[in-house]
Structure 1
Amino acid sequence: MAAIETRRSMRAFLPTPVPRSLIEEILRVAARAPSGTNTQPWQVHVLSGAAKERLSARILAAHNDPAELSKHREEYAYYPVEWASPYIDRRRKVGWDLYGLLGLAKTDRAGMHAQHGRNYRFFDAPVGLMFTIDRVMQQGSWLDYGMFLQNIMIAARGHGLHTCPQAAFTQFHRLIAEELSLPPTQMLVCGMALGYADPNAIENTLQTERAAVAEFTRFLED
């Protein structure tokens, strides 16, 4: 339970390397996630060193060029097209809580843009993970994928590591596919930063709220 309760999305990491053997162990354990008829739909691409830097540089160049940025769109809808309460309220709160910690005012568009851009450096984590799925797989396999991703994050906590799952990368799926030499049959699901969290970074003090069990649960007994 401690690993689950201490899992948070960290947005600043130390440069401390993560041994390949440890990454492999985390992925081995995470692969015990259930999947429909044992299809195991996940594919993982582990980036570090120069490979990670090349990908980050290419995405950041697009992110910081308005004309180039306008050419990139997500391949699938992660968020609702039309928002409703309480989801939009929670989204806004976590955003403003983070920006508040960083001293970014609502009018500071440049500061927000720069902070969002830190996603593409994996928040300086030494390891970046990219996750893809075969396009033949359907909605059920995406449910399976979520359990696999959660297993990675919990297993990482068991080894003193932290993570940040990142849907932000999906906007640049074409660039990522080129950099990783992905076949056209593979679709980007998301990215993830993996490493040792910076204990002195103010953004890592963010604690997101969770609804009480009574708010999302019905017990039917009669």
Structure 2
Amino acid sequence: MSVVGDRQAIIDAVKGRRSIRRFLPTPVADETVLEIIEIAARAPSGQNMQPWLIHFVTGETRDALCRQVTEAADSGERSDDYPYFPTEFREPYLSRRRKVGFDLFAIYGIERNDFEGRKRALLRNFQFFGAPVGLFFTMERDWGLGAWIDLGNIMTNVMTVARAYGLETCPQQAWAEYGRPVRKVLNLPDQHVIVSGMALGYADYEAKENQLVTERAPHQDFVIRHC
């Protein structure tokens, strides 16, 4: 079935997506979340193996996660489930990473040398930025690298499809930096890797932190054409 007629809606859904860092407390119906996930599960995967698991958390479980992971992060008790970043940053990635951090701290009104303020801002990750729904994307640890591509596909679908329901998201790999308490609350076996968390809810569009629109490199910087 052709989707040419819906081209602009699709473009807007992709180009308008951003990481929301303050949500309204408005509840999201369970049926809505499950419908989004059901649609997103049309994501491609190698030989249709669908290696992903999605944990949908609300209510008391959400609150317990927030409390225990915030305590671990505040005390510096990291327990990374896997290495996300390279051991040494290089350009242009280092500059991009610094810019988004400095831009966000500037919006919060946090000076560059205000390390306590920066820590408080980062800890907001572990409140799902106020979103009532948290999602965790996991898979069995013995999968090869291809399965990480598959899981990224379904995460992208969730973030895009959510916008069709008036909802927004923030992908949060930061939860995987505190795998021990997440694993405890969700009762996850060691053979499952916590790839990422995600906040889901209704965006507070008036919040200053949601005015941040991160830059993207022009295609000339990363597209290599072969003729």
1:103 and 2:109 aligned: yes
Work out the CA distance in 2 between the residues paired with 1:168 and 1:25: 26
**Equivalent position of 2:97 in the other structure:** 91
Give me the TM-score of the superposition, normalised by structure 1.
0.95
**Equivalent position of 1:121 in the other structure:** 127
Deviations 1:155-200 (A, max 9, x none): 0111111100001111111111111111222111110000011011
Residue of structure 2 aligned with 1:173, choices 173, 176, 179: 179
1:34 and 2:40 aligned: no
Work out the CA distance in 1 between the residues paired with 2:82 and 2:70: 21
Give me the TM-score of the superposition, normalised by structure 2.
0.93
Deviations 1:62-102 (A, max 9, x none): 2222xxx24x2312111111111100000000000000011
Work out the CA distance in 1 between the residues paired with 2:144 and 2:173: 19
Residue of structure 2 aligned with 1:149, choices 143, 149, 155: 155
The amino acid of 1:123's aligned partner reads F
Count residues with an aligned counterpart.
217
For 1:177-192, what aligned pairs fall within 5 Å after superposition?
Answer: 177-192=183-198
1:140 and 2:146 aligned: yes
Residue of structure 1 aligned with 2:206, choices 177, 180, 200: 200
Deviation (angstroms), 1:138: 1.0
Residue of structure 1 aligned with 2:68, choices 58, 73, 96: 58
1:5 and 2:11 aligned: no
Q: Secondary structure at the match of 2:110?
A: coil
Name segments (4+ residues, structure 1) moved above 6 Å: none
1:158 and 2:168 aligned: no
Work out the CA distance in 1 between the residues paired with 2:226 and 2:71: 54
Work out the CA distance in 2 between the residues paired with 1:63 and 1:219: 44
Structure 2 unpaired stretches of 5+: 1-10
Q: Secondary structure at the match of 1:190?
A: strand
**Equivalent position of 1:49 in the other structure:** 59
Q: Secondary structure at the match of 1:141?
A: helix
Q: Secondary structure at the match of 2:82?
A: coil
Identity value in percent: 43
Work out the CA distance in 1 between the residues paired with 2:201 and 2:36: 12
Work out the CA distance in 1 between the residues paired with 2:95 and 2:74: 28
